Amino acid sequence: MNNTFTALEIDTLQEVMNMAFGSAAADLAEVVDVFVQLNAPDVQVMRLDDLESHLVAQIPDYERARVVEQHFRGESDGVALLVFPHGAEHQLVSLFQSDSTEILESDTILELEKEILMEIGNILIGATVGRLFDLLNRRIGYLPPRTTDGYAVAELINKGLFAGDDYAITVQTRFDFEDRAVSGRLFIINRQQSAQQLKSALAEFWSSLE
Amino acid sequence: MNDDQVLDTLPIGLVVLDRSYRVRRWNHWMVMQSGLSQQTVLECSVFNYYPELNKPSFLRACKTVFTFGNVVYLSQKLHRFLFPFELPANHTSGLTHMQQSCTMSPVRGDDGHPQQVAITIQDVTDSVILERRLRAVNNIDELTGAYNRRYFSARLREEIERHRRYNHRLSLVIFDLDHFKQTNDSIGHLAGDHALIEIRKLAEEQLRDIDVLARFGGEEFVFLLPETGREAARGTAERLRSEIERFSLTWRERAFRVTASFGVAELNHGMGGETDLLEAADQALYVAKQKRNAVSVAGNSG
């Protein structure tokens, strides 16, 4: 089974991403009442063995970075990783804090920040990944998000999500939140097992444009 | 058994709303908790009966479901509850409402687009009460009821991080009861325990809600004063010193008094972190201890 992607397939994926993220930005502004700038996504296909060093190079203070990890299943399988620099969650709290949120105790403050990060992650991942697979006419569902850190992501990569010589498709974009000096990066890593499904979806998309 | 009967067997709430927030389903669990029958609420706006839901966080969650078609998780930690179901008045937890963990999922129409939102409501009140009890056991000093040192250390780290992020002032005060061994030896250890409890109460009366008081060990307490410079901290310490000096304690009809010495320090840019701040306050306490019943501020002579 050939899991490498042709130049045409990667170009098509890039095109779908551009479309998905373009519409997601406008909808995000309406949903979260703040303008979120979505930068043009950068699609790359790389060997899994190279993925960790790629993430380390892209994300400052990688091991301490705050990561929202959300797996998706269905007609495509993979994981979305929304990566914020360490401490960024403090900046985002006021954007997403609930009207009924009470801060009661020390542990709770940290937990609240984690919960807020998960809500943000859920919305951003739903907006972008959801749009991507909508365009590809593939139905996916999500597992609940969880927060983790760069170190745990490395563990995730190294322990079982992929085989070492598999290819990972990374879609990287940067979110910039208006008036907040914070940006995050989104990586979508497609499971190798669903590479054929993705290739089929891209072929269908390509033929629909012709 | 039809679908409605199946949904009525669920031990969780299930509400389905359309894009106009009109109720399309309201299962048996919701009937029991709300006291509102299905006939009453069906086809009505949910805001007619629960105006509290008409708030940004709920509307944002609905928009997320309708716009992106993804599942939204409303955690108890962040939202406490969605539907304000009151707990019985004799509930001893201190909670007023049922704590809820909720999900909101899209229900798609024939065109594949989300037309309705299905909300599940899970009662997690018992788990919250258990968690609070465990947290209290972990964070509270058993004898005095003040926070313990473990909790204080965690809060100190957080406040120092906040100080660095926002450049807010932060002061710390350590105080120690004078000649406490003599009190224990002459009146008894139970009298000493009683004194520690009463001093904790006195200290809490002098502190604000945002301040953090902890028993640091033995007869030593510490409190953290966010948004406070050293002169204001000295004022707080001086008021508490004076209150303790004037306070008359009684143990088994025997009256006695205690005094306390205070060391005050403010976090400054030259300090590396929590250890430096604690050491500065501790050195100030050492100076105060030379006089007893006194307040000393780090960086000030005398």
For residue B61, give the chain A residue with the closest CA: A31
Greater model confidence, A169 or B20: B20
The SS3 call for residue B211 is coil
Instruction: Say yes or no for a CB contact (<8 Å) between A142 and B70.
Output: yes
**Domain annotation covers residue B42:** yes
> ∠ at Cα B214 (B145, B186), nearest 5°?
70
User: Which residue from B56, B75, B81 is facing A115, i.e. has the nearest CB?
Assistant: B75
pLDDT at A174: 77
Domain match, B113 and B178 both: no
For position B149, which CATH number holds? 3.30.70.270
Which residues in chain B are contacts of A116 at CB distance < 8 A?
A: 78
Out of B105, B131, B157, pick the residue that ends a domain. B131
**Domain annotation covers residue B14:** yes
Query: What are the CB-based long-range contacts (under 8 Å, 24+) for B196-202?
Result: B196/B143, B196/B144, B197/B143, B197/B144, B197/B145, B198/B247, B198/B249, B199/B244, B199/B258, B199/B260, B200/B144, B200/B145, B200/B146, B202/B240, B202/B243, B202/B244, B202/B247
Residues of A numbered 140-199 whose beta carbons fall under 8 angstroms of chain B's beta carbons: which are they? Answer: 141-142, 144-145
Mean pLDDT over the full length of chain B: 92
Domain residue limits at B293: 140-297
Which residues in chain B are contacts of A27 at CB distance < 8 A?
A: 67-68
pLDDT at B191: 93
Domain match, B146 and B9 both: no
Domain match, B160 and B260 both: yes
A75 neighbors A133 (Cβ within 8 angstroms): yes
Domain match, B97 and B148 both: no
Q: Side chain identity at A128, as an amino acid letter?
A: T
Q: What is the mean pLDDT of residues B155-162?
A: 88
Contact A102/B at CB under 8 A: yes
Instruction: Say yes or no for a CB contact (<8 Å) between B78 and A101.
Output: yes
Instruction: Say yes or no for a CB contact (<8 Å) between A119 and B135.
Output: no
Q: Side chain identity at B60, as an amino acid letter?
A: R
Out of B131, B157, B186, pick the residue that ends a domain. B131
The set of residues, in sequence order, having a beta carbon less than 8 Å from that of B47 and lying 6+ positions away, is B21, B53, B54
The Cβ-side half-sphere exposure at A64, using a 13 Å CA radius, reads 7
**Domain annotation covers residue B172:** yes
Q: Report the complex ipTM.
A: 0.76
Please name every residue paired with A167 in a beta bridge, in sequence order, or none if there are none: A47
The SS3 call for residue B157 is helix
For position B13, which CATH number holds? 3.30.450.20
Instruction: Say yes or no for a CB contact (<8 Å) between A118 and B77.
Output: no
Domain match, B47 and B182 both: no
**Domain annotation covers residue B145:** yes
A170 neighbors A43 (Cβ within 8 angstroms): yes
Q: Side chain identity at A108, as an amino acid letter?
A: T
Which residues of B participate in catalysis according to the annotation? 219
Burial A65-96 (b: 16+ CB within 10 A, else e): bbbbbbbbeebbbbbbbbbbbebbbebbbebb
Domain match, B35 and B115 both: yes
**Domain annotation covers residue B161:** yes
Domain match, B175 and B282 both: yes
pLDDT digits (tens, 9 = 90+) for A171-185: 777 777 766 666 778
Instruction: Say yes or no for a CB contact (<8 Å) between A90 and B165.
Output: yes
Min distance A45 CA to chain B CA atoms (Å) = 26
| Model confidence band, residue B16 (pLDDT cutoffs 50, 70, 90) | very high
| Model confidence band, residue B8 (pLDDT cutoffs 50, 70, 90) | confident
**Domain annotation covers residue B302:** no
| Model confidence band, residue A98 (pLDDT cutoffs 50, 70, 90) | low
Domain match, B127 and B166 both: no
Mutate to test the interface with B, among A27, A94, A98, A124 (most CBs of B within 10 A): A98
Question: Which range (A57-61, A73-77, B138-142) has the least confidence?
Answer: A57-61
B74 neighbors B83 (Cβ within 8 angstroms): no
pLDDT at B224: 96
**Domain annotation covers residue B110:** yes
The Cβ-side half-sphere exposure at B29, using a 13 Å CA radius, reads 16
DSSP line for chain A: ------HHHHHHHHHHHHHHHHHHHHHHHHHHSS-EEEPPPEEEEEEHHHHHHHHHHHSTTGGG-EEEEEEEEESS-EEEEEEE-TTHHHHHHHHH--TT----SHHHHHHHHHHHHHHHHHHHHHHHHHHHHHHTT--EEEPPPEEEEHHHHHHHIIIIIS-TT-EEEEEEEEEEETTSS-EEEEEEEE-GGGHHHHHHHHHHHHHHH-
State how far Cα A165 lies from the chain centre. 22
Domain match, B145 and B61 both: no
Instruction: Say yes or no for a CB contact (<8 Å) between A112 and B78.
Output: yes
Domains for chain A: give ranges and CATH numbers: 7-209 (3.40.1550.10)
Predicted confidence (pLDDT) at residue A88 exceeds the cutoff of 80: no
pLDDT digits (tens, 9 = 90+) for B205-214: 999 989 999 9
User: Number of structural domains, chain B?
Assistant: 2
Domain match, B185 and B247 both: yes
Question: Which range (A146-150, A193-197, B27-31, B163-167) has the least confidence?
Answer: A193-197
Domain match, B156 and B105 both: no
Domain match, B189 and B124 both: no
Instruction: Say yes or no for a CB contact (<8 Å) between B135 and A131.
Output: no
**Domain annotation covers residue B52:** yes
pLDDT at B302: 44
Out of B131, B165, B190, pick the residue that ends a domain. B131
Which residues in chain B are contacts of A87 at CB distance < 8 A?
A: 165
Min distance A24 CA to chain B CA atoms (Å) = 8
